[in-house]
Amino acid sequence: MTGDPYSAGVRELFAAPGHAGDLEKPDLRVQINDQGVRVALAATIDGDIIGSLRFRAWGCPHLLAAAEAFCRAYEGRPVSALQAFSAADLMQTLAVPREKLGRILVLEDTVRSLGQSVRQSPEPGKDTD
Amino acid sequence: MSNSTDIVYLDYAASTPVDPRVIEVMTPLFGVGGDFANPSSGHLAGRRSQQHVARAAEKLAGLLGCSERELVWTSGATESDNLAIAGAARYRADRGRHLVTMPTEHKAVSDVFHALEQQGFEVSWLYPAESGVLDPAELEAAIRPDTQLVSIMHVNNETGVIQDIEALGAVCRARDVLFHVDAAQSVGKLPIDLASLPVDLLSTTAHKVYGPKGIGALYVADRPGCHVEPLIYGGGQQGGRRPGTLAVPLIAAFGAAAGVAMSEMQDNYAHLRALNDRLWQGIRDLDGVVRNGGEDSTFPGILNVSIADVEGESLLLALEPLCVATGSACNSTSSEPSPVLRAIGRSDLLAQSAIRFSFGRPTTAAEVDFAVARYREAVTTLRGIAPGLVA
């Protein structure tokens, strides 16, 4: 027991959120405000592949770290992978405490919403927010 | 001066380092050849130990303006608060079971009142003005014929707000109600003269004033009707009010810390005032920043600020290696907004963003400048990451 509420992974992601911010021309942008936190995701889509991802978030360090971790992991992956994103898996990887589940689920909802937006978007390249 | 090379410590309201002059007094009392004996023992070694206790009591009594026999040694302010509140409430329960306090008290006080409520006592919780200060007229109005005890802290541990204990105590004294003051944050830092103040019970601890953890004291005024029932049993030490073998090295250390505090109080106060002003001047122009607690009614060792549109837990982490608090240290693992800040009218969001900077004797202007720079950078970064309110 170190008494540190943050794992090394959370600390690294929080300290270097390289994917925080905006994309110049996102194909999709979604935002969910819930559980006292806010998560926004923006993406470019190249066919069935996720091009670039950016996030904006207002919440605890675990949420910001999780959003950064998602962006790092999903660039270059098929769009279909978005529906399989699991907050529980990410929480385990980053050692996020159980009481933060509600906030990380907001990220999961936002990711799923992004995936649904891809399916509903007739013409990638248009901002759907 | 930081007490480590990789941190900047601005959390002196949570705990202070032990002054080297205090360590010098305490250390020889632990081992062989030192005065380690039980001070209750009648032999020569015991009497020598007792002399250390007597000297410490003399110094602490000198700092507080009371008699040595009015002091009860405890393990710290939490025990002192428990003994004062539960002990006095039980002692006077046959006269009445109504008690008065504030929701802005430390948990060492408020949790005792919650426990007493479960035991059939009735508690009135008085809310302060936005400045954090309680109007004595509010207290006057709350006191009833069956009121037995009022407990109000001197300096608030989160905001530094100073209560007018002289005026509040006068209200209690006029109605024959015992007045307890949690002075954990003020003893040794602000002048306290119990010979002239209408205070019946006063809690203090050593580790907030450059003494060791594990030792505190409760002042119990030597006046009719003022007494505490013990919380623990097992011997006749300290008049039965708090039995148990006295921790001589810790008590001697508390006495030494009290002596140093008394001799340096004025200089330390000016030092804290300058640091507080320097930090506030460095951040007050930030958009949405507010000071918690009135500028004119707070102890300068503490500066508590909230800021709009910044999440508190992320702010605290972004401030590292700056060591500060989001509220009282005892509350720092909770994500619930501080009840102290809610009581002075802060919204949940503002209360949740609160950061308590607290300064000490070793704090330097360079450390405060570092804190200013770090705070400004953290606020800018986190605001830069946050999305707008509207999707």
Could you report the per-residue pLDDT of B6-32, keeping only the tens digit for each? 899 999 999 999 999 999 999 999 999
- Chain A positions touching B387 (Cβ under 8 A) are 31, 38-40, 56-58
CATH of the domain at A38: 3.90.1010.10
In a domain, A66, yes or no: yes
Q: Are B172 and B193 spatial neighbours (Cβ–Cβ below 8 Å)?
A: no
- CATH code 3.40.50.300 for B20-259: no
- Give the whole-angstrom CA distance, residue B301 versus residue B160: 7
Nearest CA in chain B to A67: B385
How buried is A89 (Cβ within 10 angstroms: 0-12 exposed, 13-18 middle, 19+ buried)?
exposed
A128: confidence class by pLDDT, cuts 50, 70, 90: very low
Q: For residue A78, what is the DSSP state?
A: B
Would residue A128 count as lying in a domain? no
Say whether B20-259 and B8-15+265-384 share the same fold: no
pLDDT value, residue B6: 86
Q: How far apart are CA B365 and CA B384, in angstroms?
A: 29
Residue span of the structural domain in which A57 resides: 8-120
Residue A65 lies in a domain: yes
Indicate whether A126 belongs to any domain: no
Per domain, the residue ranges of chain B are 8-15+265-384, 20-259
Residue-level pLDDT at B332: 46
**Cβ separation of A5 and B311 shorter than 8 Å?**
no
Note whether B313 contacts A56, CB cutoff 8 Å.
no
For B8-15+265-384, which CATH superfamily applies? Aspartate Aminotransferase, domain 1 (3.90.1150.10)
Determine the residue among B385, B389, B390 to mutate to test chain A binding: the one whose Cβ has the most chain A Cβ atoms within 10 Å: B385
d(CA B270, CA B273): 5
A1 domain-assigned: no
User: Is A129 a residue whose pLDDT tops 70?
Assistant: no
Q: Which residue has the tokens 């992004």?
A: A114
Residues of chain B with pLDDT under 50: 1-3, 328-333
Model confidence over B162-189: pLDDT tens digits?
Answer: 999 999 999 999 999 999 999 999 999 9
Does the pLDDT of residue A126 top 60, yes or no?
A: no
Any domain includes A33: yes
Instruction: Choose, out of A64, A104, A114, the residue to mutate when testing the contact with B (most B CBs < 10 Å).
Output: A64
CA-to-CA distance for B166 and B191, rounded, in angstroms? 12
Mean pLDDT of chain B: 94
Residue A127 belongs to a domain: no
Which residues of B have a catalytic role annotated? 330
Residue A26 structure tokens: 């996102």
Q: What was the pLDDT predicted at A121?
A: 67
Q: How far is B112 from B78, CA to CA, in rounded Å?
A: 10
Residues of chain B whose beta carbon is less than 8 angstroms from a beta carbon of chain A are 309, 311, 313-314, 317-318, 333, 335, 384-387, 389, 391
pTM exceeds 0.90 for this model: yes
Predicted pLDDT at B324: 96
Q: Closest partner residue to B385 among A6, A64, A129, by Cβ? A: A64
Q: Please answer yes or no on whether A40 and B391 come within 8 Å at the CB atom.
A: yes
Report chain B's C-alpha Rg in angstroms. 22
Q: End-to-end distance of chain B based on CA atoms, in angstroms? A: 46
In a domain, A3, yes or no: no
